[in-house]
């Protein structure tokens, strides 16, 4: 299927792809995807609701967790329409404006997630290495500034991508390999040189995810040094336990990203379905697992969620009586 190109209007129509060769099974394949999307939406909304309604959770650590939940929710909703549109309605066609808009939100929110994880590591560093100044360093104003700077940095760096893609002529007879739009994939369809896009893409990754991952590693090196300096083994374990949820969130974000990069770089001989599954893992597993991890490993969140369920259960019992 070709990309339709109009020289006078400079417009193109792209065609998204589900699981190629399994089109007859798209209805069945949509069931696990629907379950994942529903779990992501309910899980992250629950985290946001619990933090918002419980005054005891109005602390820096939980504000950053709310930012993570919002980011995961946005990332999920940015892919949901096209993914389910293909599975349910075989709606493969997408206009260039809609495609570039989706691309902008997917890449921006991915970078925001990296920034939020960095902010959370800074929160853990201050809480463990400088606990007496925790409340004075991480004030509400500073937390808001950190959140806004994460969004602004990501949006400013990703904003040029649609404009860099818009200048190309798309004349190759190709379809997109996924059910959503990505910068790397779209630029490969261009007829002209994509060197500028390659260089700028590497620059964006290096100065965001690259820098963030180094700073997260540095913060945990300093945390580990401070923890090992504690005399009591019980105290060391208790302190490290406060970092487990965040470490899991970091691993859930970076491991799929590294895996997807390795598959794209060295996995040309692998079946196409492996590339597809890795891309879905990268976009869906962190938003799916983060609420679950924080609900299980963070005692305060777990207790509040249980209380909410008990409250709704008691209401239902009262209504029956």
At 101-127, the pLDDT tens digits run: 999 999 999 999 999 999 999 999 999
Among 306, 241, 321, 294, CA closest to 69? 294
Gyration radius (Cα) of the chain, Å: 22
Burial class (CB in 10 A: 0-12, 13-18, 19+), 266: exposed
pLDDT, tens digit (0-9, with 9 covering 90-100), for 133-164: 999 999 999 999 999 999 999 999 999 999 99
CB 175 within 8 A of CB 272: no
Burial class (CB in 10 A: 0-12, 13-18, 19+), 290: buried
Cα 207 versus chain centre, distance: 18
CB 272 within 8 A of CB 60: no
Q: Which band of pLDDT confidence, cut at 50, 70 and 90, is reported for residue 267?
A: confident
Q: How far apart are CA 179 and CA 172, in angstroms?
A: 19
If you average pLDDT over every residue of the chain, what do you get?
Answer: 90
Is residue 5 pLDDT above 50, yes or no?
no
């Amino acid at each position: 299927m070709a990309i339709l190109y109009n020289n006078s209007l400079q417009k193109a129509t792209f065609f998204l792809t589900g699981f190629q060769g399994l089109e007859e099974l798209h209805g069945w394949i949509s069931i696990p995807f629907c379950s994942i999307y529903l779990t992501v939406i309910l899980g992250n909304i629950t985290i946001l609701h619990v933090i918002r309604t419980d005054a005891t959770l109005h602390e820096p650590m939980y504000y950053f967790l709310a930012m993570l939940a919002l980011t995961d929710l946005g990332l999920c909703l940015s892919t949901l329409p096209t993914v389910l549109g293909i599975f349910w309605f075989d709606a493969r066609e997408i206009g260039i404006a809609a495609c570039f808009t989706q691309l902008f939100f997917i890449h921006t929110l991915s970078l925001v997630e990296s920034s939020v994880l960095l902010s959370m590591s800074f929160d853990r560093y201050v809480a463990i290495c400088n606990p007496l100044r925790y409340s004075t360093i991480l004030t509400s104003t500073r937390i808001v500034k950190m959140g806004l700077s994460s969004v602004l940095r990501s949006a400013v760096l990703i904003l040029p991508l649609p404009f860099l893609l818009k200048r190309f002529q798309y004349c190759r007879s190709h379809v997109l390999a996924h059910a959503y739009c990505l910068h790397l994939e779209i630029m490969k369809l261009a007829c002209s040189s994509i060197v500028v896009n390659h260089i700028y893409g590497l620059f964006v990754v290096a100065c965001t995810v690259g820098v963030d991952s180094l700073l997260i590693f540095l913060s945990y090196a300093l945390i580990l040094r401070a923890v090992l300096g504690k005399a009591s083994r019980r105290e060391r374990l208790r302190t490290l336990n406060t970092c487990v949820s965040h470490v899991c969130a970091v691993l859930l974000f970076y491991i799929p990203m590294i895996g997807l990069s390795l598959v794209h770089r060295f996995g040309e001989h692998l079946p196409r379905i492996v590339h597809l599954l890795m891309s879905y893992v990268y976009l869906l597993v962190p938003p799916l697992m983060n609420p679950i991890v924080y609900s299980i490993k963070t005692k305060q969140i777990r207790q509040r969620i249980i209380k909410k369920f008990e409250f709704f259960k008691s209401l239902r019992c009262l209504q029956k009586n």
